A and B are shown apart, each in its own frame.
Chain A
Amino acid sequence: MKIIFEIQRRKSVQDKPYIRKLTLETQDTTVVEALDIINAGELADDPIQWECSCKQKKCGACAMLINGRPRLACDAMLSEFPKGIIMLAPLKKFPNVCDLVVDRSVMYDGLKHFGSWLEGEAVCDDTGIAYEASRCLQCGCCLEVCPNYYAGGEFFGAAALVPASRQISEADKTDGKRLAKAYNEHFHKGCGKSLSCKNVCPAGIDTERLLVRSNAAAVWRREKRK
């Protein structure tokens, strides 16, 4: 198949971004493999920079905007785009470093500020919520589509809701209070319940279910099921 790629390029923060157009003739494969082919061929002297690791939807490295939608490049097949045009751009809510690479450290800084960890030993008799929440890739796609999230604000979005849901479901009483305070401050107060995060999560995490459970424990203070 013949695909026209329109890739946003930028050498460094100091440089202006521009669109590089090129055509690739290949059999159907993922956007990640297409980028590899381009970088080994036409752009071998000046390869496109992007983050890539597992190539099987399990690490979140290759999140980018593909025809405007945030998703993992390893999960996007060329044949999904019948018009044969694929536009690649970096996620917009994080600072752009170069080409398709963004600096996602604001997400990790948020988790640190939140206190996203357990202080005591995990207490848990229903591992379902912890399992679902632990699947989070910290890719940032959910923040990209969230109408309430902006980098630098006090609302940390689903990227904080999901890890917090594990911790809230496993925390002892004292630690539960600490987490509930942070949850209210950095998630509940700012969440407009658009649930766009649920539609876009590449891991398919049911953020609505986590939100309902975490609200019950941290906002409405329902006792944990015994």
Chain B
Amino acid sequence: MINIVGAGLAGLSAALTLAENGIKCRLISAQHSERSQSVLAEGGINAALDTMGESDTPELHFEETMKGGCYLADPNSVEALTKSAPNIVKKLASLGVPFNLNADGTIMLRSFGGQKKKRTAFAQSSTGKMIMTALIDEVRKYEAQGLVTRFPHHTFVRLIVGEGRCEGVCVRDSFDKRLYDLLGNVLICCGGLNGFFPEMTTGTASDSGNAAAVLFTQGVRSANLEMIQYHPTTFAIPGKRCLVTEAARGEGGRLFSEKDGKRCYFMEERYPELGNLMPRDVVSREMFRELHGGAGTFLDMTGLDPAVWRGKLSDLRGEIMHYLAADPAKTPVPVQPAIHYFMGGIYVNERHETSISGLYAAGECACRYHGANRLGGNSLLGAIYGGITAARNVTPDNNDVTEAYNGSEPFACAPSPMFVKKTGAVLLRGLGIIRNENELKKALNELNSIKCENAVELARRELSAAMLMSALARKESRGAHYREDFPETDDGYKKTTVAEYRENAVNISFDDIPGRRSE
């Protein structure tokens, strides 16, 4: 029996892998899989399927992922990820994911940022939703066989740790309000930290980040917390940011800025080779500079072929028309960068083991594949491959004990909306697109003056501090982390930032990144 916390893409992939090998698991989630953040993924999933006659290879996918991540990921993991990608996408197709197809029936691929070959498989611009539907149905088959048991309205409370080893997980049933101890090894697939930045991200409201915070104060080490991805093209809708998929640029959309009635296609001017499809960190920084200079920034999709709108981006067009009451085929869309993804998170090794024995992590909550900047199309891939890899390495036990109790539990509480809002504003101030020591220190001071009313608030404050302290410690600029006081990349920092909570204090250190074994 394995306890999987989180039923999004990584959790489902892990459950499916375990079930296919006859291993039982509990699939624990606050809400059902349809509500997970994975359904929001739009543009596609990368795999060197080489169906577009461009002689693509997994090796090129490897090189561009490493380069996009500014060499901060373990090359051995990235190699395994990119080698597995074609088979993962083929398996998804065999499960019935309706990928867009070429005339010869092979899977069509589109261009995505930071990649010179067409490598991104997609289903219009709802790729995450299409993959999730197929996986939910496939996992249901094993639910019926009793191999996967869902706990669909259960929230993570805390890890059960004994003698430094993970012995299970305590969860709260939000329906009967009782606490349950679920014994056995635990795989965390709880998503990224966007709950730390309420209303400022493209993610879901249910992705609170509470589990990551509690785990951190329970001694689970985190890595690269300063690496926060700003997606270049989003717009505001009530309560959040709405994403305009990178596929819009992959299919020909062009960014421009406008000041005093003058248009400047700044990406094409400054980066002639990749232009609008530079990696996201670069594009977001350039947009920030344009905005800072007083210009408005727009995405021009008016030149897209009607067939592209019909066959590849119909849902994006519908969404923009719904929220902005303007047709993107006729008018440029005003867009700005916003927080979209967390490259950092729970520090896992190649086997997806965390610093606590018996505890594993995968998906966006884990730090493994994306280095200092994730390439578009690699998140769905990383979530699936991470889930599969964790499931292959996790040791099952025969412990299928579920103990219910009504006792008190300090972590069985929620942070107040006011606390989340306050800490979010402070974090954003320190962890913007452009950072410096002054602002980071100010943010850290302000953060420490915010009062905590309960254990979860305290845990969130400590993990927030760890994010700011990681950004302070990395005195260089690399990928998503840009320090105006240290604008150059310094290879002395070609290391993993490690944050650890010891004796009620946050400690930051740096780990070496291993070399590539196959070289």
Contacts and interface: CB of A to CB of B under 8 A. Distances in A.
A55 B96 contact: no
B293 interface: no
Interface stretch (B98-106, B252-260, B357-365): B98-106
A85 B234 CA distance: 32
Interface string A122-161: 1011011011011111110000000000000000000000
Contacts of A136: 133
Interface residues of A, number: 52
A118 B137 contact: yes
Contacts of A81: none
A33 B239 contact: yes
Nearest to B42: A58
B53 interface: no
Contact of B140 (A30, A117, A130): A117
Contact of A55 (B95, B123, B143, B239): B239
B418 interface: yes
A8 B101 CA distance: 48
Contacts of A167: 96, 137
A115 B144 contact: yes
A112 B144 contact: yes
A124 B134 CA distance: 14
A40 B40 CA distance: 26
A128 B205 CA distance: 31
A112 B105 CA distance: 32
Given A53-B204, A112-B143, A124-B96, A58 B40 contact: yes
Contacts of B97: 134
B402 interface: no
Given A55-B205, A59-B39, A112-B144, A134 B238 contact: no
A199 B141 CA distance: 31
Given A55-B238, A58-B39, A58-B129, A138 B96 contact: no
Interface in A49-75: 51-56, 58-61, 74
A163 B137 contact: yes
Interface residues of B, number: 51
Interface stretch (B28-36, B301-309, B458-466): B28-36
Contacts, number: 136
Contact of A52 (B101, B126, B150, B206): B206
B31 A135 contact: no
B93 interface: yes
A59 B34 contact: yes
Contact of B137 (A30, A39, A44, A116): A116
Interface in B348-368: none
B418 A40 contact: yes
Contact of A131 (B98, B205, B239): B98
Contact of A54 (B100, B126, B153, B204): B204
B175 interface: yes
B239 A54 contact: no
Given A121-B94, A122-B93, A36 B34 contact: no
Contact of A105 (B144, B152, B206, B238): B152
A127 B98 contact: yes
Contacts of B242: 56
A66 to B, nearest CB: 15
A60 B96 contact: no
Contacts of A97: 175
Contact of A112 (B140, B204, B239): B140
Given A40-B417, A55-B238, A117 B126 contact: no
A124 B319 CA distance: 28
B140 A55 contact: no
Contacts of A138: 32, 34
Interface in A24-45: 29-30, 32-33, 36, 39-40, 44
Nearest to A59: B35
Best-surrounded residue of B36, B177, B204 (most CB of chain A within 10 A): B204
B494 interface: no
A167 B140 CA distance: 13
27 contacts: A12-B177, A30-B239, A32-B239, A33-B239, A36-B239, A36-B417, A40-B417, A44-B418, A51-B31, A52-B206, A55-B237, A59-B39, A59-B204, A104-B32, A108-B32, A112-B144, A115-B144, A118-B138, A127-B98, A127-B99, A131-B124, A134-B98, A134-B134, A139-B34, A166-B96, A166-B137, A170-B96
In order of increasing CB-CB distance, the 3 nearest A-B pairs are: A127-B98, A122-B96, A130-B98
Given A51-B31, A53-B205, A56-B237, 11 more contacts: A33-B239, A39-B417, A54-B39, A58-B39, A112-B140, A122-B96, A124-B98, A127-B101, A130-B96, A134-B126, A137-B34
